[in-house]
Amino acid sequence: MLYHLLVPLRDLFAGFNVFRYITFRSAMAAITTFFFCVIFGERLIRRLAALKVCETVRPKEEVRGLYDLHHHKEGTPTMGGVIIVGAVVAAMVLWGDLANRYVLLTLFATLWLGVVGFIDDYIKLRFRRRGLSVKAKLLGQLLLGLTLGVFVYLDPNVPATLDIPFLKDAAVHLGVFYVFFVMLVVVGTSNAVNLTDGLDGLATGCILMVAFSYGIMSYLSGHARFSQYLLIPYIDGVGELAVFCAAVVGACLGFLWFNCYPAAVFMGDVGALALGGAIGVVAVLIKKELLLVIVGGVFVAEVVSVIVQVASFKWRKKRVLRMAPLHHHFQMLGWAEPKVIVRFWIIAAILAFFTLATLKLR
């Protein structure tokens, strides 16, 4: 809104010209979402508690050992991810270019998965069930992935190819199969963040690192000179996604104000699915899908741990880990929850720095 209102007035007052710059608006978007979450977070927590929108810890019989570590979290307000989604949308309305189709598509994806997560959380809390069925949740994610995949496939500015990290001018042309790959990315990223959201602030801190990295990569991919210098695909208009990623970073920082150990509120599926899917959408639009494996290494490890655990128990009747996902394995080894969280954050930060370094390794 400010971008559209004030930039045309730069001829009247040169100071308004600053609103043209993505770097300025990115910084302001991050500041806006941070204070939005901090200011309204306390009120949201009180409201959620009053409505009894609170976490229910699984029975001791289902999670032996883990129940003793987590039973004190019973009654903690959840679905706090609504404030993250709300803050990001508000910041983009203020600081984003709402005429940019990539911004609109990313906001749509965030809201879509936020609604899917909201329904899932609501069913869990209202009917004391496991939430949406696997098929229903997957259908919501696949529909979004299909929409995004078709959009990219038909958009002449975004090639339906996979940019290969570390290699100069290397890309794999998938043709129409790229649509199915995009669906896989959306489903994978949204569910990976959801799986990681099991300890206080763990997923929030990790997604912050990933969003920061993709914010920088979005800016570089949308800048003709920088993209040419770094030998990465230039896509006109995707630089605006840096504002979106900055808004996510600020929102995560603001949410961590309340979500850090011991958490006063949990994100819930409404936040985890929305943030994970949004990052996947950004990765697709700037042609950095494969880098998700590196920058989102923590999320990948969490997903792999579940797959390995389930496969091993099904075929060998033995468990590889004490408990899956991976963060619970370390808890079962005796690590204190804050130690698990901070060490995973450290790994996420290192992976983020390495991911940015790969832009020059070609």
Secondary structure of 219-254 in HEC code, one letter for each residue? HHHCCHHHHHHHCCCCCCCHHHHHHHHHHHHHHHHH
pLDDT band at 205 (very low <50, low <70, confident <90, very high): very high
Q: How confident is the model at residue 86 (pLDDT cuts 50, 70, 90)?
A: very high
Residue 265 CA to residue 37 CA, distance in Å, equals 12
Place of tokens 């130690």: 339
Q: Give the tokens for residue 278.
A: 């949004």
Q: Is 294 left (phi over 0), alpha (psi -120 to 50) or beta?
A: alpha
Q: What is the pLDDT of residues 301-340, one digit of tens each?
A: 999 999 999 999 889 888 898 888 999 999 999 999 999 9
65: pLDDT confidence band, cut at 50, 70 and 90?
low
Q: Read off the pLDDT of each residue in 215-223 and give the average, rounded to a whole number.
A: 97
What count of other Cβ atoms lies within 10 Å of the Cβ of residue 225? 9
- Mean pLDDT, residues 77-95 taken together: 96
pLDDT at 280 over 80: yes
Q: What is the per-residue pLDDT for 62?
A: 54
Residue 130's pLDDT is what?
Answer: 76
**Contact 359/220 with Cβ under 8 angstroms?**
yes
pLDDT tens-place string over residues 137-187: 999 999 999 999 999 999 888 888 888 888 777 788 888 999 999 999 999
Give the model's pLDDT for residue 58.
Answer: 64
Residue 47: domain span = 2-358
For residue 252, the model assigns a pLDDT of 98
pLDDT exceeds 90 at position 71: no
What rounded mean pLDDT belongs to the chain? 91
Q: What is the tens place of the pLDDT at every residue in 99-113? A: 999 999 999 999 999
Residue 270 has pLDDT above 80, yes or no: yes
Length of the chain: 362
Question: Residue 90 pLDDT > 80, yes or no?
Answer: yes
Rounded to two decimals, what is the model's pTM?
0.95
Domain count for the chain, please give it: 1
Give the confidence band of 67 by pLDDT, cuts at 50, 70, 90: low
CA-based angle 109:111:122, to the nearest 5?
Answer: 125
pLDDT in tens, 244-266: 999 999 999 999 999 999 999 99
Query: Residue 9 pLDDT > 80, yes or no?
Result: no
Predicted confidence (pLDDT) at residue 356 exceeds the cutoff of 70: yes
Could you tell me which residue, 206 or 317, shows the higher pLDDT? 206
